[in-house]
Amino acid sequence: MNWRDARSWAASWEWGDAPAWAAFVLAAIALVFSIRAQRDGRRSANAAEESVKEAKLSRIAAERSTAVAEATLADQRREAEERRAAEEEAGRPRVDLRVEYQTGSVFLLTNHGASPAQNIRTAEEYPAMTTWPADLSLGENERYRFMMMGDLAHHVPAVIRVVWDGQDEPVSLRVPRNNA
């Protein structure tokens, strides 16, 4: 294009076309801004979706953490209760029965414990031993005298198994040897 052609084009230009060209340029600029806004809107929507996903994962993690914390707390409470019960049981006064030899055929059933033993009875029959009363009870450091005398058919037992109120499982009491 040379100078003359440009002048002829400029001469052919009508100022009535200017608003159309201005509208065209503004429309093009608006199109560019619209495309950018649409991209930004998509990015924002995607970011919002990711944020919602992260919030859900965070909520699930928090719920799991809460469940684990509650289970841990329940375990700690249970262990503390068991420990307290064991300490109470260990500190509870106990019955401590023992058979002691006195002289000849006389033996003593002695409670060396701090707790009384109520309704003491043998768990088995011992023919070499005299029968105990049905309501035999011994307090702390109390004694009961009884006799055991062996013969050819029935020997003095090496162990006597006894029970009392609160002790249903038989307890074995060692019988000391008669040195007479």
The pLDDT value given to residue 151: 84
The DSSP secondary-structure symbol of 16 reads T
| Whether the Cβ atoms of residue 143 and residue 109 lie closer than 8 Å to each other | yes
> What percent of the chain is predicted at pLDDT more than 90?
47
Residue 53 pLDDT greater than 60, yes or no = yes
Quick one: tokens of 98?
């023992």
The pLDDT value given to residue 51: 86
The pLDDT value given to residue 1: 55
What's CA 15's distance to the chain center, in Å?
Answer: 89
Distance (Å, whole) CA 25 – CA 109: 119
Q: Who has greater pLDDT, 45 or 172? A: 172
> What percent of the chain is predicted at pLDDT more than 70?
89
The pLDDT value given to residue 40: 84
Residue 172 pLDDT greater than 90, yes or no = yes
Query: pLDDT (tens digit, 9 = 90+) per residue, 10-51?
Result: 556 565 677 777 778 888 888 888 888 888 888 888 888 888
Query: pLDDT (tens digit, 9 = 90+) per residue, 86-124?
Result: 888 888 888 999 999 999 899 999 999 999 999 999 999
